[in-house]
Chains A and B, each alone.
Chain A
Amino acid sequence: MAKSLFEKVWAAHAVRTLANGQTQLLIGTHLIHEVTSPQAFGMLRDLGLKVAMPHRTFATVDHIVPTDQLVEPYRDPLAQAMMEELRRNCAQSGITFFDRASGKQGIVHIVGPEQGITQPGTTIACGDSHTSTHGAFGAVAFGIGTTQIRDVLATQTMALGKLKVRRINVRGSLRPGVYAKDVILHIIRVLGVNGGTGYAYEYGGEVFDRFSMEERMTVCNMSIEGGARAGYVNPDQTTFDYLRGRPYSPQGAAWDAAVERWRGFASDPGCSYDDVVTIEAADIAPTVTWGINPGQGIAITESIPDPARATAADERSSIEEALAYMKLRPGAAIKGTRIDVAFIGSCTNGRLSDFREVARHVRGRRVAPGVKAIAVPGSQIVALQCEKEGIDQVLRDAGFEWRAAGCSMCLAMNPDKLIGDQLCASSSNRNFKGRQGSPTGRTLLMSPLMVAAAAVTGTVADAREVFAVNS
């Protein structure tokens, strides 16, 4: 019988059925970082347990690292304490730690793929909701809580109920100046921030067939913003080409066998899905959020919603709440809204292709006066490659600050934060109240090139006009 990738991966990793009907699922690859793992190691110690398969857990440090200070001790003693706790836990348990000294440190969802640790047909868990990123490789990847991190450390498994699968086809071709980020913001806008509850999203169609791995990662990354715990793309030649030769990729004869095995995990033609949604690529525009959740997005050419025109009471109150927080005027054009900060980075859009695209268009331009613009590579390897290609210099010349790798201003667990009610054009993934570190700070989510357009004009702008994008 034809099966989806999700079903095949689930079946290959199901250990047994637990008393409450959930599955004990083998987690092939476990990724950890400094924020959500220390308590899990503490629980393990309290229970007198050891890490079951230390060679299947990989660590890096990303959320708390300052992007403007490389040398420890960090100015923030709490950040330093978390750093040391992770280092100690990894050393005691024999877990590989990609720290800054390794040259491989970065945001956990960038490091895994970069190292070839993220592979098709595997199960991956990490104490971070953006773990769905790894689904870009045809892995089934879950964000988990700290108690589940304990479970995975102790048993290399966790208890989980099976998800349904929604196939999302994006058909046709994207228009010039429309990026992977716009695709996922559009999908979330259409299906809602909780539309994916209970589902894994399988992304496919011509747009995904043509997408690079980095573009696929951007989309899968934000599955959770649509309520889907996991999101994936079936593995294909693009996937294998990306993985070939990476440090943890199989080598030699094992490579050929692996590719053969990986192909077998792709969803079979004619397999059934619990739901199918089709989206026309031509309907997707450069998208910007105006509210306080990632589903509150509009095309750059649209106006900010007016609660008076809402059809349901619920919709009206959510628009009102969002506009009151965002201090935006109902019915006004989003284009032209003044910004204070521009942030390019994060596990959504902090990869080489993001910086290449921005640099290509920003070359010779200047960040508008009064705008603080920061560019933060997602990993040390991304940083190094950008520096080799002169991308860092292009961005610096334009007036961006070029920082060291980390989560930076996506979530404000490090010194990169908004101040007061600053408005930030951001390539990150969440525009929740206070997300970027100030309880009154405001976030507009958009693609990296749209952030660059906002940076150079000082206002929310249409990158297609600012940079004359037509191909």
Chain B
Amino acid sequence: MALEKITAVTGRAVCVPGNDIDTDRIIPARFMKCVTFDGLGEFLFHDVRKNAEGADLPHPLNDPRFRGATILLSGANFGCGSSREHAPQAIQKYGFRAVVAESFAEIFFGNCTTLGIPCAAAARADIARLAAAIEADPALAVTLDVAAGEIRFGGQAIPAEVRPAARDALIHGRWDAIGELLEGLPAVQALATRTTYLAA
């Protein structure tokens, strides 16, 4: 299973500010009544983007200037709460290819990596600088260099690090672990046989 080597993501960016943005906010639970992930993109951040009548509320993702952005910026502890993979799936299906935040909740980070979405952590002041730059010029080309651990935009560079195990998996095209896990099956069977409670 040859996977894409994700060494960098280049595109336009949009900032959804705030700390502790949870996965219920990213994709409200009622949209998880489905047996596939298809179509989740349109419900990304639904309840803060739409009012009860379905009309747009002021939200960065409703701002036409940021349409087509592929890099999502946010605050600390992004993706906290529920383990629902529907959240990164919705982010990916909406069109995002990378997330940059001050910090990430653990399960969300792992779920993103497994889908090939780099989650890069950057300092608050640096994210603010980048957010100001894209506010001034929404068409600004932004590059998250996963391998180098930095973001480049408009002649500037800020540190933005993907944690080592995830970075390694992304840049070497090993972000979906299934191939490697399957290769280990004989060893798995051997360990299971030695593990008392796993006897059939």
Contacts and interface: CB of A to CB of B under 8 A. Distances in A.
A53 interface: yes
B95 interface: no
A26 B33 contact: no
A78 B114 CA distance: 27
A15 interface: yes
Contact of B111 (A145, A154, A224): A145
A122 B196 CA distance: 10
A3 to B, nearest CB: 18
A323 B180 CA distance: 48
A77 B29 CA distance: 16
B83 interface: yes
Contact of A413 (B30, B187, B188): B30
B25 interface: yes
Interface string A288-321: 0000110000000000000000000010001001
B165 A22 contact: yes
B115 interface: yes
Nearest to A143: B83
Given A36-B83, A55-B200, A151 B103 contact: no
A468 interface: no
B184 A20 contact: no
Contact of B181 (A39, A159, A193, A432): A159
A21 B80 contact: no
Interface in B63-108: 76-77, 80-86, 88-89, 103, 105-107
Interface string B32-72: 11111100000000011000100000000000000000000
A145 B83 contact: yes
B143 interface: no
Interface residues of B, number: 61
A155 B185 contact: yes
Interface string A96-130: 00000000000000000000000101100001110
B176 interface: yes
Interface in A420-471: 430, 432-435, 437, 439-440
Contact of B24 (A16, A35, A161, A430): A430
Residue picked from A79, A119, A156, most chain B C-beta under 10 Å: A156
B180 A18 contact: yes
Contacts of A361: none
State which size class the interface on A falls in. 35 or more
Contact of A38 (B35, B82, B110): B35
A145 B110 contact: yes
Contact of A15 (B18, B22, B188): B188
Given A12-B195, A430-B81, A154 B178 contact: yes
Nearest to B104: A197
Nearest to A142: B107
Contacts of A161: 165
A93 interface: no
Interface string B138-177: 0000000000000000000000000011101100101011
A168 interface: no
Given A19-B174, A430-B24, A437-B30, A157 B83 contact: no
A372 interface: no
Interface in A141-178: 143-148, 150-151, 154-161
B109 to A, nearest CB: 9
A159 B35 contact: no
Contacts of A257: 196
A114 to B, nearest CB: 18
Contacts, number: 205
B198 A412 contact: no
Contacts of A148: 110-111, 114
Contacts of B80: 193-194, 227, 293
A82 B181 contact: no
A198 B191 contact: no
Contact of B172 (A19, A143, A437): A19
A151 B111 contact: no
Contact of B33 (A157, A413, A439): A413
A437 B29 CA distance: 8
A229 B104 CA distance: 12
A231 to B, nearest CB: 13
B77 A193 contact: yes
A20 B114 contact: no
A128 B83 contact: yes
B182 interface: yes
A145 B164 contact: no
Contact of A432 (B22, B84, B114, B168): B22
Contact of A155 (B25, B29, B76, B188): B188
Q: Pick the 8 closest A-B CB pairs, nearest first.
A: A145-B85, A145-B111, A439-B47, A159-B177, A38-B35, A129-B83, A78-B33, A143-B83
Interface of B: 18-20, 22, 24-25, 28-30, 32-37, 47-48, 52, 76-77, 80-86, 88-89, 103, 105-107, 110-111, 114-115, 164-166, 168-169, 172, 174, 176-178, 180-182, 184-185, 187-188, 191-192, 195-198, 200
14 contacts: A15-B184, A20-B172, A24-B184, A26-B195, A35-B32, A35-B84, A36-B83, A56-B198, A146-B37, A158-B177, A194-B103, A430-B24, A432-B22, A433-B22
